[in-house]
Structure 1
């Protein structure tokens, strides 16, 4: 028979004291260790750009201007497209609400009037500032059919002419453009490398926009070394447009006027002058006709001596 084991009296379990100096094990989540992630977010000195741009347009916009807006949407992966907005006096309040609902910090609003004139609003919401431009010399990607091509979602290199550092209003415009057109580094839709360039240059107090692809030779024997920019070339991609600044406001879509362009002439005034010139040509013709009649009446022709002979 098997022998019975001796019964050992169990001693009462004494709870172990936890060392205050020992660190507790962090809680684990689906994304990793919770405490470690929080510490990294708190201690990280890197600035994270959370810029988001709302892109929208007004109703009854022309197809050409709508294609320009869609080209910019394809170039800016950090933007959000929204439905059309009625271009009335209260458009500023509605646009600010849309920007807040979409969790954006900036807005590009394409406003078309009389199906002829295109105005572009660049605004920082909700505190401003905002700029109103008249858009001229519009050429979309579909019209140009250029040979350049860049990857969708890649980050651009922003280049500005030296004129932007002369006057304070140009410096302000440069800062607004860099914040709106500069794609954040760690954005989920953006690619982590650069393959095209946005060029902003000032000529005749107008801002001219161009988009170029950085083309590099891909042959293994002809690799480009670091700093070898001589072998790189720029090929234009598009689109093209020209911005004529009208006013800079202190708030978002309104507020106190910080700058007003003294050289700006509205397209309505230009069309009115052209009509007056055409009307002036017609008036000159009428004046010449009446002057000719008055001259004929004051200087009658002498009667022809041979007229009676011909009648007989």
Structure 2
């Protein structure tokens, strides 16, 4: 019998057929402007990224995909360059082409949903990366021909190239076929640099708001958090698995992190909200909380921060 993974407090994401019908009926009644999208950065630092061996940096490719450079290592989070997701065409081009990436050393996967785990993309990556994946996913990677795979449970830690890589909880679910619901886990990734002055990055993955943020804050001093803000509408349907912009700000405060970088919006239409709507709500919630503007870094697609 296959193991099934669960959220903290056994929070369920199960939805009924009636729930799905209600959502589809609501969607038909909404009018959304899909002509306005998140902008591309006018400057793409392809050469600097390729040559960088010492400076820390992060580049937003789009959706939940970032190129993070730490300790001379090139790290990709949830690499997805897919032009479509189900019946929906990708709304914005990836910030860098696959052939513009440097050789990749590390890939982390938050969970098995197709907008976070895309094997056609993984096959095109330069280099021979080490994959870090949630418990339950290693067998699928091996079946697909990927041999360098480390499988991790919540709170596990591995060391690689002077980095400590932690797998931490999230509140979500996963499925890739009819019979494999929740047979692999989901979570976020924390990267800690060894030694003094090392900056800590937290890639949240996909999550609803949950008490796990406070537990993570108790274990780590986080400098930069890559936080999802999109795919939250309708909230009665999505809240258990996709955090709203307002709750993402609440989570940021609870984490005690120094900088907020929003993600998971604007690339694919996974719910009823649009990228600009998610960003507008985030900015409003940020102002309402009286948080300093310099602690929020809203990125253009393909933008790099060094």
| Shorter-chain TM band | under 0.3
CA radius of gyration, larger in: 1
Structure with bigger strand share is 1
Normalized per residue, the structure richer in helix is 1
Q: Taking structure 1 as the reference length, what is the TM-score of the superposition? A: 0.23
